Structures are given as C-alpha cells and as structure tokens.
Amino acid sequence: MEQTLSIIKPDGVKKGLTGKIILMFEENGFEIKAIKKVQLTKKEAEEFYYVHKDRPFFDSLISFMTEGAIVPMVLSAESAISKNREIMGATNPKDAKEGTIRKMFAESIERNIVHGSDSPESSKSEISFFFNILEIL
Ligand code: CMP
C-alpha cells in the first residue's frame, strides 16, 4: 500500500465540501490513515509550497492557502499517489475530466479545492509536514 497527502483547501472547507470529498476518497477505496483541521500561518504555507517560490503566482497562492482552515489527510491505497491525482483532476479545472473533484467544484487554477502529492518523495515530506508517526493509523 502506498500513502499520499491530500489537502482540502480553504475554498473546499468554506464551501462545506469536506464530507463529500472524504466520501469520494472512501468510495474509491482509500483508507483515511490520519486527518486534522488546521489553519496555516504565512510562514508555514511558504515552507509547504517552497518548490513554487519563484513562480509568479506564489504570493497569491500563499494568501489563498492561509485565508481559512484546511483539512490535510493521509490517504492509503494501492498506487495512492496517481489514483488521488486521477480523482482530483487536472490542476486547472478547465482541463479536468468530468466527475473529478476539480471539474465539479473548483473555481480556478489557483482556487482548485484540493492538493495531492505528486511523487513518492513529495508524499513523504508532505505527510511529515502535517503528521507525526503516532498520528498515522
Ligand atoms: P497544488 O496542487 O496545491 O500545487 C500548487 C498550487 O499552485 C496549485 O495546486 C494551485 O492552487 C496553484 N497554481 C498552480 N498553477 C497556478 C497558476 N498558473 N496560477 C495560479 N495558481 C496556480
């Protein structure tokens, strides 16, 4: 079994989509190994998205990710990383397939409801950013 980090972003939480998104993960065979609700500080969001620090959208992304609570969770399944990315859909909702989370709920490429790790390396570091080993069951 592989693990990946999913985050329901501030737009998803504000729109009351937390339960619906968790249900989609469970119905698609994911086990929720850990979950919490937190609000990131600017410093924490900058650390989490450090790889994007030189992108033109970085400041706007940090402001969005700190505007409200988020729900990070550890998902487990076979090929969890790629499976989660399929269920989320493309980063830009305009390019996302029908039935994906972003196609159904996202407003824009930035306010795109969910985040998912994109590789085994990022999954490992993103999971440990939010959860310690005792919190993953
Ligand atoms: P995420 O999967 O969390 O990874 C980085 C985030 O940056 C992405 O989802 C979007 O929220 C945001 N993002 C990516 N590309 C753009 C863009 N071109 N303009 C604005 N925001 C973007």
DSSP secondary structure letters along 41-102? -HHHHHHHTGGGTTSTTHHHHHHHHTSS-BEEEEEEETTHHHHHHHHH--SSGGGSPTTSHH
Which tokens go with 24? 């989609």
Q: How many CB atoms lie within 10 A of CB 57?
A: 12
Atom of ligand 1 nearest to the CA of 64: 11
pTM: 0.98
Residue closest to 28 by CA, chosen among 73, 71, 92, 76: 76
Mean pLDDT value across residues 38-43: 98
DSSP 3-state of 23: helix
Q: Are strands 2-8 and 114-116 parallel, antiparallel or unpaired?
A: antiparallel
Distance 111 CA to ligand 1 centre (A): 8
Per-residue pLDDT at 71: 99
Model confidence at 47, pLDDT cuts 50, 70, 90, reads very high
Model confidence at 42, pLDDT cuts 50, 70, 90, reads very high
Atom of ligand 1 nearest to the CA of 9: 3
Give the residue, by CA position, lying nearest to ligand 1 atom 13.
Answer: 110
**Mean of the per-residue pLDDT values of the chain:** 98
Mean pLDDT value across residues 63-87: 98
The torsion angle over the Cα atoms of residues 126, 2, 91 and 16, rounded to 10 degrees, is -80
Per-residue pLDDT at 78: 98
Extents of the domains making up the chain: 2-131
CATH pick for 2-131 out of 3.30.70.260, 3.40.50.300, 3.90.1180.10, 3.30.70.141: 3.30.70.141
Q: Say if ligand 1 is within 6 A of residue 115 CB.
A: yes
Catalytic residues: 115
Q: Say if ligand 1 is within 6 A of residue 109 CB.
A: yes
Distance 136 CA to ligand 1 centre (A): 27
Per-residue pLDDT at 77: 98
